[in-house]
Amino acid sequence: MRPFLRALPFNLLLFAGCGGIALSAVQADAQLGLASLAHPAGMAIGALLVALGLRLRLLATIAYYQHELVVVRLRPQQRLVTSGVFAHLRNPLLQGWWMLQAGWGVAFGTSSGLLLALALGIVLDFWVKWEELTLAAKFGDEYVAYRARTPRWGWQR
């Protein structure tokens, strides 16, 4: 199966799941008496974040499949992917996930949804710091060099 078609199902499920969580956060805001942050500009910015997050996840997932790797895995991969989107960003799958959750929260203008996105970002940052230690132990100098030239959470060098 073509990598793009293989990449779609899980990423679309995550897309919908993040949207559902943010929609539930709108209801939670109402029950907690929190004011809505909804604004047309927020809807546009949120939609852009969601679109970019989904694109980032699709590109990263496709790269994994092209290297015959499993996307959802709690152990280090058998190969280090450093090309494609991974040449610019060390954690595009996780950053894409965060962008999906934050984007939906911004789009729906939900305070608790944005707090959830903040919490997710903190958890992912801790996860990545642990994962980087594991990858350095597994891949040695190859990973250390990759880490030195590729930003963890941004496109700047």
Query: Could you tell me if 96 and 15 are in contact, meaning their C-beta atoms sit under 8 angstroms apart?
Result: no
| CATH number of the domain that residue 78 is part of | 1.20.120.1630
For residue 154, being part of any structural domain is answered with no
Instruction: Please name the residue that has the structure tokens 């709690």.
Output: 74
pLDDT of residue 150: 94
User: What's the structural domain count of the chain?
Assistant: 1
pLDDT tens per residue across all 157 residues of the chain:
687 777 888 888 899 999 999 999 999 999 999 989 999 999 999 999 999 999 999 999 999 888 888 777 666 678 899 999 999 999 999 999 999 999 999 999 999 999 999 999 999 999 999 989 999 999 999 999 999 999 998 755 5
Q: What is the DSSP string of 73-141?
A: -SS--SS---SGGGGT-S-HHHHHHHHHHHHHHHHHT-HHHHHHHHHHHHHHHHHHHHHHHHHHHHHTH
CB-count exposure of residue 5 (10 Å: 0-12, 13-18, 19+): exposed
pLDDT of residue 83: 92
Question: 15 lies in which domain range?
Answer: 3-149
For residue 157, being part of any structural domain is answered with no
For residue 155, being part of any structural domain is answered with no
